[in-house]
Amino acid sequence: MTLTAAADGSALGNPGPAGWAWVVDDRQWRAGGWPRATNNQGELMAVLDLLHATAPRADEPLRILCDSQYVINSVTQWMPGWKRRGWRKADGKPVLNRELLEQLDTALAGRPVTFEWVKGHAGHPLNEAADLRARAAATAFRAGLEPEHGPGLADTPSAPSPVVSVEQPAAPPTLF
């Protein structure tokens, strides 16, 4: 049987306080975030944490509902070329969020995972639930509080969230 979950990220400012969340249903979800990160980092982390949480059930097909074209295209289309070019884009610039993407690549290896795009903020119940929890995590970080992390996946040992750096490269100096 296929397990279906929605994954979403949120940033209050970009970068700014950021959150991520995945939701299977009201009893199975997890969220987290950082004091400063981007929306794309939250989107990627939601999928990465979902893959880690479902690793004990890795033989079971996983359907990930996602409103981020960036995430879907990254893992389903662009990643092979980035890897061939040493994690560089076609224009030769380094791929952003490389650490998250490399961990996603490892977590996806050999797994029966499909991604399905859903329009964000359009009333899809699972996507709305993931968005709400991701935004709540970002809001908690903005307030200097620890977000509610959720119960995780039922009947599965709770795996710790993957540790990733979301450091932003320093902006180049400007003359103005």
Q: Flag whether pLDDT at 174 surpasses 80.
A: no
Given 42, 49, 128, 131, the catalytic residue: 131
The better pLDDT of the pair 48, 172 is held by: 48
Banded model confidence at residue 123, pLDDT cuts 50, 70, 90 = confident
43 is catalytic: yes
The better pLDDT of the pair 115, 154 is held by: 115
Mean pLDDT to the nearest integer, 136-162: 88
Distance CA 167, CA 30 (A): 22
Amino acid at 84: R
In a domain, 87, yes or no: yes
123 is catalytic: no
pLDDT on residue 120: 80
Please list, in sequence order, all residues whose beta carbon lies within 8 angstroms of the beta carbon of residue 119, skipping any fewer than 6 positions away. Answer: 67
Given 8, 32, 33, 42, the catalytic residue: 8
CB distance 74 to 57 below 8 Å: no
In a domain, 15, yes or no: yes
Given 9, 33, 42, 152, the catalytic residue: 9
- Predicted TM-score (pTM) of this structure: 0.90
Q: Flag whether pLDDT at 168 surpasses 90.
A: no
pLDDT on residue 105: 97
Given 32, 42, 67, 150, the catalytic residue: 67
Burial 98-135 (b: 16+ CB within 10 A, else e): ebbbbbbeebbeeeebebeebeeeeebebbbbbbbbbb
- The two counts, helices (H) then strands (E), for the chain are 5, 5
pLDDT in tens, 64-110: 999 999 999 999 999 999 999 999 999 999 999 999 999 999 999 99
Return the CATH number at 67. Answer: 3.30.420.10
- Alpha carbon distances (Å) from 114 to 15, 26, 35, 65: 29, 22, 30, 9
67 is catalytic: yes
- For residue 89, the enclosing domain spans 3-142
The better pLDDT of the pair 171, 72 is held by: 72
In a domain, 71, yes or no: yes
160: left (phi over 0), alpha (psi -120 to 50) or beta: beta
pLDDT in tens, 1-51: 999 999 999 999 989 999 999 999 999 999 999 999 999 999 999 999 999
In a domain, 91, yes or no: yes
In a domain, 151, yes or no: no
Helical packing angle, 39-53 and 125-142, nearest 10°: 120
In a domain, 45, yes or no: yes
Given 26, 110, 121, 144, the catalytic residue: 121
pLDDT on residue 171: 47
Amino acid at 83: K
59 is catalytic: no
91 is catalytic: no
Structural domain count, the chain: 1
Distance CA 11, CA 17 (A): 6
In a domain, 160, yes or no: no
In a domain, 107, yes or no: yes
